């Protein structure tokens, strides 16, 4: 999950690419797991991270 957070913050990869690069084989499972740990979806996390960086 830490690797996914780093990729979402630093790389212009799609969320699907982040999913597979992070070792997940199932996009739905990645989204569900991400939301359980981070309390927001990967797209929400990326939007908020980019907002704070501006």
Domain boundaries, the chain: 2-53
Q: How far apart are CA 10 and CA 34, in angstroms?
A: 17
Q: What is the pLDDT of residue 9?
A: 93
Instruction: Choose among 23, 51, 7: nearest CA to 15.
Output: 7
User: Would you mind telling me the total number of residues written for the chain in this entry?
Assistant: 54
Q: What is the pLDDT of residue 51?
A: 81
Pick the CATH number of 2-53 from 3.40.50.970, 1.10.10.60, 3.40.50.150, 1.20.58.220: 1.10.10.60
Q: What is the pLDDT of residues 3-53, one digit of tens each?
A: 999 999 999 999 999 999 999 999 999 999 999 999 999 999 999 988 877
Q: What is the pLDDT of residue 18?
A: 98
């Amino acid at each position: 999950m830490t690797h996914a957070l780093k990729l979402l913050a630093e790389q212009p990869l799609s969320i699907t690419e982040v999913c597979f690069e992070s070792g997940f084989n199932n996009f739905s499972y990645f989204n569900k797991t991400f939301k359980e740990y981070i309390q927001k979806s990967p797209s929400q996390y990326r939007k908020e991270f980019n907002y704070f960086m501006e």
